[in-house]
Amino acid sequence: MPARVPAPRPRQEPSRAALVQISLAGVLWGTGGLVVQLIRERVDLSALTIGAYRMAVAAVVLVAVVLASGAGRALVRLLRTHPVRAVVVGSGTGAYQALYFAAVVAGGVTVATVVSLGLAPVLLAVVDWVRTRARPTPRRLVVLGAALTGLVLVSTAGHGAAGGTDPGLGIVLAVASGVTFAVTTLLGRGLAHAAAPLVVTTATTSAGALLLAPVAVGLAASAGGPLATADPAVLGWLVYLGVATMALAYGLLYAGLRTASAGAAVIATLVEPATAALAAWLLLGERLTVVAGAGVVLIMGAVAGLGRETQTPRSPRARRTPRARRTPRGGRGSTTRTAAPGTPGHHVPSTGNHRDPADR
Q: What percent of the chain has pLDDT over 70?
A: 78
Taking the C-alpha atoms of residue 246 and residue 336, their distance in angstroms, rounded to an integer, is 69
| In a domain? residue 188 | yes
CA distances from 337 to 321, 324, 346 (A): 18, 11, 9
| In a domain? residue 233 | yes
Kindly give the residue spans of alpha helices, DSSP state H, lying in the chain. 16-42, 47-68, 72-81, 83-107, 109-132, 138-159, 167-192, 197-223, 232-242, 249-256, 262-268, 271-283, 290-308
For the chain, what's the residue count? 360
CA distances from 26 to 45, 66, 250 (A): 24, 24, 9
For residue 13, what pLDDT is reported?
52
Given a contact cutoff of 8 angstroms between Cβ atoms, the answer to whether 274 and 150 are in contact is: yes
Which regions of the chain are under pLDDT 70?
1-14, 158-164, 307-360
* Count of C-beta atoms within a 10 Å radius of residue 135: 9
For residue 163, what pLDDT is reported?
54
| In a domain? residue 242 | yes
For residue 321, what pLDDT is reported?
44
For residue 98, what pLDDT is reported?
80
CA distances from 333 to 105, 263, 337, 352, 355 (A): 85, 58, 14, 5, 13
For residue 334, what pLDDT is reported?
45
| In a domain? residue 289 | no
User: Closest by alpha carbon to 62, among 206, 191, 237?
Assistant: 206
Q: How many domains would you assign to the chain?
A: 1
Q: Which domain holds residue 76?
A: 36-145+162-260
For residue 309, what pLDDT is reported?
60
Taking the C-alpha atoms of residue 296 and residue 132, their distance in angstroms, rounded to an integer, is 31
| In a domain? residue 328 | no
For residue 211, what pLDDT is reported?
84
For residue 168, what pLDDT is reported?
82
For residue 67, what pLDDT is reported?
94
